[in-house]
Structure 1
Amino acid sequence: MVTQVPPALLRHRITVEPAAGEGAYGPQYRHAIPDVPALVDSSPRLVRAPDGRQLTASATLITGPTLDCPPGSRITLPDGRTTTAITVTRHTAPGLPVPACTEVVCE
């Protein structure tokens, strides 16, 4: 039974700076998590943000199920671009032979 995305499929490496809220000088982030295994899809697509706005996503990431990446987190992609997490979805299917993972849609 598959319990999480096989590491062999997560071919890219990203850096995640988890969002920690707003400060006096703008967004605040916790310590960076470097070298996070991920599968990066850089094809643009239209998505709806949690506040209802329609945005064009620049990348969609698939990572392991335990990634600490709340919406608003700063992410550095393999090509060096920096982006922001719009939505974060955890996919699970307990008891079924499908992998658990975290999907992050980025601005």
Structure 2
Amino acid sequence: MGAIPDWLLRHQVLIEPLTGEGPFGPEYGEQTLVRCFVDAKRRLVRDAEGAEVISETTIFMPLDTTCPAGSRVVIGDRASTVITAARRDGGGLPTPDHLEVVLQ
């Protein structure tokens, strides 16, 4: 199957990828408009440190998207922070390869 099919990418979000920490807090890269699938469902997840946090939204986007934990994502008029990002790569198996991003 390869990449996630285009017909599943029904939504668009703006991503500002986290590039590092500066003297005044987090620094972000250039905003990028990305086609994706948005699943607005509340669920309990673990962050990078292992703490349990509530996620309001999960986004599924193309595998080559740059969106590390801590990045800022804008959906409509709401900005959120990425809790975790997981690459879902089937390694050649017939699965929809994608990046799964969990938002606060």
Report the TM-score, using the length of structure 2 for normalisation: 0.96
Residue aligned with 1:100, SS: strand
What is the alpha-carbon root mean square deviation over aligned residues? 0.8
Structure 1, residues 80-103: CA drift from partner, whole Å, max 9, x if none? 210011100001112311111000
| Equivalent runs, 1:60-75 vs 2, <5 Å | 60-75=58-73
Q: Which residue of 2 aligns with 1:20?
A: 19
> Residues 68-107 of structure 1 correspond to what in structure 2 (within 5 A)?
68-77=66-75, 79-107=76-104
**Once the two structures are aligned, what percentage of the paired residues are identical?**
38
What TM-score, normalized by structure 1, do the two folds share? Answer: 0.93
Structure 1 gaps, min length 5: none
The CA distance in 1 between the partners of 2:97 and 2:11, in whole Å, is 18
Question: Residue by residue, what CA displacement relative to the aligned partner does 1:21-68 show, whole Å, maximum 9, x if unpaired?
Answer: 11111111011112x011001111000001111110011000001010
- 1:28 and 1:91 map into 2 onto residues whose CA distance is 26
Greater strand content: 2
Where structure 2 has 5 or more consecutive residues not aligned to the other structure, the ranges are: none
